[in-house]
């Protein structure tokens, strides 16, 4: 009898603990994001959203990653992840909420960076490669590897494609002026390339325009200026909602011509 009484007390204690730990109301009440018909919103991971799916390990979110999500679902992605045009359309049509994972220490310090140059930018690219290594970044060098004459579009395309397909988080391309490489890179869907000639422009291109490829002109800046520009560009992020909204409109224009 004593043993039976002890077991009854243990069962009662377990039921009491469970009832306080998992209230019935929290298990039954649907999350507002699952029933809302409002347009999709992007919020930080600290918002407390009830996630439907976590794809935060990927740098590029494709239509396959979102096709199975129901209307009003909540999808977590990496802080710097981008959506392909088809994925963005599905997210918009179904009112899927995007939650961007933000690290506790702020912006990610070490990045995977695609770099490239034509013959005019080759010497500065080699300096850049060493500089990025000193900062602790991982570098994918797409060439060129000498000062023999080559065509800048070939290398700008390779750098931009690496960013677009998620092989690299950002890219840096150097030619004589930086303009032709920016034009080439911006032909690749998902790329926002900016030719920068000062620290101020570099910061603006990231904070306001969400640039993911930086192009530099070896004939327009010194090596010291290159280092200052690159450091500023890599340590600045697109954070304010008003700027995210405008960058979203840039992407929307691109989608109109990529169908």
| Residues classed as catalytic | 208
Per residue in 140-174, is it b (16+ CB within 10 Å) or e — as a string? ebbbbeeeeebebbebbbbbbbbbbebebbbbbbb
Distance, C-alpha 130 to centroid of its chain: 24
Listed residue (34, 90, 104) closest to 61, CA to CA: 90
Cis peptide before 144 (omega within 30 of 0): yes
Q: Are strands 82-83 and 97-101 parallel, antiparallel or unpaired?
A: unpaired
Residues 6+ apart with CB under 8 A from 139: 113, 114, 115, 129, 132, 133
Q: What sign results for the dihedral spanned by CA atoms 144, 150, 152, 153?
A: negative
């Amino acid at each position: 009898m004593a043993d039976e009484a002890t077991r009854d007390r243990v069962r009662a204690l377990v039921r009491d603990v469970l009832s306080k730990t998992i209230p019935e109301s929290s298990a039954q009440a649907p999350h507002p994001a699952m029933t809302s018909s409002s347009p999709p919103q992007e919020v930080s991971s600290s918002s407390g959203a009830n996630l439907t799916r976590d794809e935060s390990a990927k740098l590029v979110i494709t239509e396959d990653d979102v096709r199975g999500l129901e209307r009003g679902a909540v999808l977590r992605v990496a802080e710097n992840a981008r959506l392909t045009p088809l994925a963005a359309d599905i997210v918009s049509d179904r009112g899927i909420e995007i939650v961007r994972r933000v690290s506790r220490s702020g912006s990610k310090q070490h990045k995977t960076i695609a770099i490239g140059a034509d013959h005019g930018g080759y010497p500065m690219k080699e300096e850049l490669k060493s500089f990025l290594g000193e900062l602790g970044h991982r570098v994918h060098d797409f060439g060129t590897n000498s000062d023999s004459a080559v065509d800048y579009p070939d290398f700008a395309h390779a750098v931009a494609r690496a960013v677009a397909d998620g092989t690299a988080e950002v890219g840096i391309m150097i030619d004589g002026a930086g303009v032709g490489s920016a034009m080439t890179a911006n032909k690749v869907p998902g790329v926002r390339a900016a030719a920068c000639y000062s620290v101020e422009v570099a910061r603006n291109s990231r904070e306001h325009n969400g640039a993911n490829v930086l192009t530099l002109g070896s004939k327009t800046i010194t090596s010291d200026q290159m280092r200052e520009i690159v450091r500023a560009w890599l340590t600045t992020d697109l954070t304010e909602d008003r700027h995210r909204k405008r960058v979203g409109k840039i992407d929307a224009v691109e989608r109109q011509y990529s169908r």
